Structure 1
Amino acid sequence: MKEETVIGLVEVAPFKALAVRTGMTPDKSGTRVAWSKLTEHVPLDDERLNSVQSAFVFIPQQQWDKEVDTLWVGLKVKEFGIVPEGVETLEVSGGLCASARVYGDETSMWGVYEKMFSWLEQSPDYELDKRDGVLGMETVPLKPINALTIPYSDIKTFDFTMLYPVRKKLIK
């Protein structure tokens, strides 16, 4: 039985992240390369990390209007501390986010993106917050399997949660 996609609203607390910037690559390996660089400099046992349940892929939300070409792969931290070369600091403002869980094959994943953006277009109350500096997030669980260590083409089941900041629609 196919799981129905539910779009919900969740409040995300502000947080700090250490992250590595990447671009979209034709073979979709950019996030995997960034993850490898990140964990080389910030190992999963680094004392700055909050309880490490998931990694984040950050997307500047104004990119949704054109083409997504810049992403960051990051980990939530309590403090930045000494920031290694090649790693950037991100301050995630948090707030109200539209949320949806992706769990399934590539076709189902693209279907959830479609449902998310359709929901955002049709919502009478909310719109995607596309102001400069606002980052959407996709949380990637690290257990039981960390998808960021598997080539994209080998992933059979995509498992992550979309968290895209929204704001009340401006009345026109």
Structure 2
Amino acid sequence: MDNRKRGEGILQKSIAVELVEVAPIKALAVRTGMTPDKSGTRVAWSTLTAQVPLEDARLTDGPSAYVFIPQEQWSKQVDTLWVGLAVHEFGDVPDGIETLEVCGGLCVSARVYGNEVHMWRVYDAMFAWLEQSPDYELDRREGVFGMETVPLEPLNALTIPYTEIETFDFTMLYPVRKKSGF
């Protein structure tokens, strides 16, 4: 029992939550809802890449997809997401595809690399960090998007059914702002 407790403590300590500056991003994206079987992001990815292939000249460098989360949803329930690809310019926007402009700025960040239990621990660590921070809070203003970056190489998790993913691999980037003084 002692070793297991010690092991869990080590795992939690290995979750690094940090502040990072994020550049503004333009994205072509597909809106989806949260589905009980968690297939919404995979369906959105399929719809997106059918209209905006990964060879599209508008795409920025770097093999990553993004899941965008409206920050105001964190105070109630996350039910709407966008799956997108970063672009230099929007150009001709195909039917069914939306344009998103994410302001960038200071974000709290944490990397997820592990099984589903570990992924939920990272979410818990992120929100615990925010609750305990004397200086920063989640920026929940309307129109502010957080994002999770999903690498497309060596493996694109958006092409694998959620229940078959053994290793979740993404980085959380959620905008923060200075807490207002009381």
Which runs of no fewer than 5 residues in structure 1 stay unpaired? none
One-letter amino acid matched to 2:97:
V
Kindly state the Cα deviation for residue 51 of structure 1 after the two structures are TM-superposed.
Answer: 1.2
Distance 1:10 1:38 in 2: 28
Question: What does residue 170 of structure 2 align with?
Answer: 160
Indicate yes or no: 2:54 matched with 1:44. yes
Question: What does residue 134 of structure 1 align with?
Answer: 144
Kindly state the Cα deviation for residue 53 of structure 1 after the two structures are TM-superposed.
Answer: 1.6
Deviations 1:118-140 (A, max 9, x none): 10011000000000100000000
TM-score of the two chains, using structure 2 as the length reference: 0.93
Larger Rg: 2
Distance 2:67 2:83 in 1: 5
One-letter amino acid matched to 1:17:
A
- Are the counterparts in 2 of residues 44 and 52 from structure 1 also a CA contact under 8 Å? no
Runs of 4+ off more than 4 Å: none
Distance 2:62 2:30 in 1: 17
RMSD (CA atoms): 0.9
Q: SS of 2:118's equivalent?
A: helix
Kindly state the Cα deviation for residue 165 of structure 1 after the two structures are TM-superposed.
Answer: 0.2
Question: What does residue 7 of structure 2 align with?
Answer: none
Number of aligned residue pairs: 172
Identity %: 73
Indicate yes or no: 2:154 matched with 1:144. yes
Kindly state the Cα deviation for residue 15 of structure 1 after the two structures are TM-superposed.
Answer: 1.5
Distance 1:135 1:31 in 2: 16
Question: What does residue 104 of structure 2 align with?
Answer: 94
Question: What does residue 71 of structure 1 align with?
Answer: 81
TM-score of the two chains, using structure 1 as the length reference: 0.98
